[in-house]
Amino acid sequence: MLPFIGLLMCVLGVLLFVTLSVAALAMGPNVKEGWLPLDDNIRGKTPILVEWDGTNAVIHRGNQKASVLVYLTSNSSITPEFSAFVTEMERKRKTDYVLFAVRPSGFGNFQILADEFRNKRVDIGYEPITQDRAVRLMGRQP
Amino acid sequence: MVDLLSNTVGALVFIMIFTVMAASGVVVLKRLPLEHKTKSKPINFLCEKSRIIPLDNAGLESRLKAKWGRPYSLFDIYSWVARYNGLEVEDEHFVARGESTISPLSLSILFTQKRDGGYAVNQIQLSDSKYRDLLKRVKAESDFVHFLVRPDAIDSFIAARKIAAEEMGIGTGWMPLAADSQIRFTSRGRTPTEQ
């Protein structure tokens, strides 16, 4: 009886391995990137991660994410929803800063977006990230 | 038989942990510094596709101005400004073309990269690469390396920045550049920032 249990366990294990391998390959390696600002404690400010794709800003707050339309047209000013976020960051500029994850589709108009914060003396940082890779901030969260 | 079973289960658990870690993504430790203004001089590089292209804008500008010369007289000012328009100089990597308008008065330089200019990203990794030679001449106390990054060159930029910042200890900064935007330096343009 015992040899059959061992054989059964081996077969089950192999099946489990195959299933997980297929799942991992289907998701693709490196599908998610976790950023851990190394000098977070030195600067003493909390990063607020904002993904920018040229149209929408995805604002990360802890485990929550909110997508906000920034420009209605290419020539228009920022929407009231995003303006509220800029105002909030201006209020918190001594304790927080905005860390942008800039996607390739957002390269063209990123500086215009960044100027919204620079003009309000809100500190920013920015880092490029490929178009489809998910990103999250690790470590200290607001 | 029990040993065989234990070993098999142990190996499978190990493989499962590895598989789950691979599927859940990677943690990338980054300094992610804040942008700050600097008095250091930017040493520019264009990152495009898989190439890192040195942009000696200051050197090309001074050569362009030397070629431009000075006005012959006070009455020559307008034609002198007009003569700047279309003047060209080049180096190994870029062609610099002067642009001018009289009303409003403005001067700018359009930089167009040459075909096959710069260095392939796999070449810059070599210990005796020309990219590293260029960086060795950068004064870390008064200069910083500034990258103009096209959307198709994120990996190239990260590789080049890693060499400059982590291996050679030089300050760096970067600026995203749309795929179709031209590289034009004007007196009223954006000041490069360090990160």
What is the pLDDT at residue A26? Answer: 56
Geometric angle at alpha carbon B177, from A71 and B51, rounded to 5°: 150
What is the pLDDT at residue B37? Answer: 82
What is the pLDDT at residue A19? Answer: 75
CA distance A33 to chain B (A): 5
What is the pLDDT at residue A78? Answer: 92
Class of domain A33-137: alpha beta
For every residue of B45-92, DSSP letters joined together read EEEETTEEEEE-HHHHHHHHHHHH---SSGGGHHHHHHHHTT-EEE-S
3-state secondary structure of A55: coil
Q: Please report the sign of the dihedral spanned by the C-alpha atoms of residue A42, residue A44, residue A49, residue A52.
A: negative
State the average pLDDT over residues B112-137: 95
CB contacts of A29 in chain B (<8 Å) are: 22-23
CA dist B111 and B96 (Å) reads 5
CA distance A110 to chain B (A): 7
State the average pLDDT over residues B99-107: 90
What is the pLDDT at residue A49? Answer: 94
Please answer yes or no on whether A24 and B15 come within 8 Å at the CB atom.
no
Please answer yes or no on whether B26 and A34 come within 8 Å at the CB atom.
yes
Phi-psi region of B49 (alpha: psi -120 to 50; beta: other; left: phi over 0): left
CB contacts of A6 in chain B (<8 Å) are: 1-2, 4-5, 8
Instruction: Find the CB nearest B12 among A17, A38, A124.
Output: A17
Minimum CA–CA partner of B193 in chain A: A125
CA dist B42 and B69 (Å) reads 26
Per-residue pLDDT band at A39 (split at 50, 70, 90): low
State the average pLDDT over residues A30-35: 72
pLDDT (tens digit per residue) in A49-107: 999 999 999 999 988 999 999 988 777 889 999 999 999 999 999 999 999 999 999 99
CB contacts of A33 in chain B (<8 Å) are: 25-28
Instruction: Find the CB nearest B23 among A23, A37, A39.
Output: A23
ipTM of the modeled complex: 0.80
Q: What is the residue extent of each domain of chain A?
A: 1-30, 33-137
Please answer yes or no on whether A32 and B181 come within 8 Å at the CB atom.
no
Geometric angle at alpha carbon B81, from B76 and B84, rounded to 5°: 125
CA dist B174 and B164 (Å) reads 12
Geometric angle at alpha carbon B142, from B107 and A42, rounded to 5°: 115
CA distance A67 to chain B (A): 22
pLDDT (tens digit per residue) in B36-57: 888 899 999 999 999 999 999 9
CB contacts of B9 in chain A (<8 Å) are: 9, 13
